[in-house]
């Protein structure tokens, strides 16, 4: 089955700096890659996603890049703010969409 690895497990940045979180996957059939933000004690919330026919997607301060050849995708947050502090999870699934494989999470702390 698919194996998703995520790095780093913890990340601290100064407010205003950029944060980058990286994930790799093993199954070349995976073609949809969402990113979720989970604040303490709350539900995971989809913040951005990318499909395998696209190399990059941007939504305001958040962007995701995908390298299908290398089987890795990354989340980029620019101009970080304290409210960006949370755990971020990447995930991957194939075009059946029936089973999602999650990374181990990155705890991001933005220091004011």
Partner 1 sequence: EPEVTQTPSHQVTQMGQEVILRCVPISNHLYFYWYRQILGQKVEFLVSFYNNEISEKSEIFDDQFSVERPDGSNFTLKIRSTKLEDSAMYFCASTLRLYEQYFGPGTRLTVT
Report how far residue 31's alpha carbon sits from residue 93's, in angstroms, rounded to the nearest whole number: 6
d(CA 75, CA 73): 7
Distance from C-alpha of 21 to C-alpha of 74, rounded to nearest angstrom: 6
43 contributes a contact to partner 1 by CB under 8 A? yes
In the complex, least distance from residue 28 CB atom to partner 1, rounded to whole angstroms: 18
Report in angstroms how near the CB of residue 17 gets to partner 1 at its nearest.
26
Omega before 8 within 30 of 0, i.e. cis: yes
Tell me: does residue 49 bind partner 1 (CB under 8 A): yes
Total residues contacting partner 1 by CB under 8 A comes to 23
Residues of the shown chain interacting with partner 1 in the complex, contacts defined by CB under 8 A: 32, 34, 36, 42-46, 49, 89, 91, 93, 95-105
């Amino acid at each position: 089955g698919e194996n998703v690895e995520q790095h780093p497990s913890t990340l601290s940045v100064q407010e205003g700096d950029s944060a980058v979180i990286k994930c790799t996957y093993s199954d070349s059939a995976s073609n949809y890659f969402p990113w979720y933000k989970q604040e303490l004690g709350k539900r995971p919330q989809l913040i951005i996603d990318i499909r395998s026919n696209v190399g990059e997607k941007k939504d305001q301060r958040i962007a995701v890049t995908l390298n299908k050849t290398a089987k890795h995708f990354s989340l980029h947050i620019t101009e970080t703010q304290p409210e960006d502090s949370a755990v971020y999870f990447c995930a991957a699934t194939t075009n059946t969409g029936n089973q999602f494989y999650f990374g181990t999470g990155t705890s991001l702390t933005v220091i004011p």
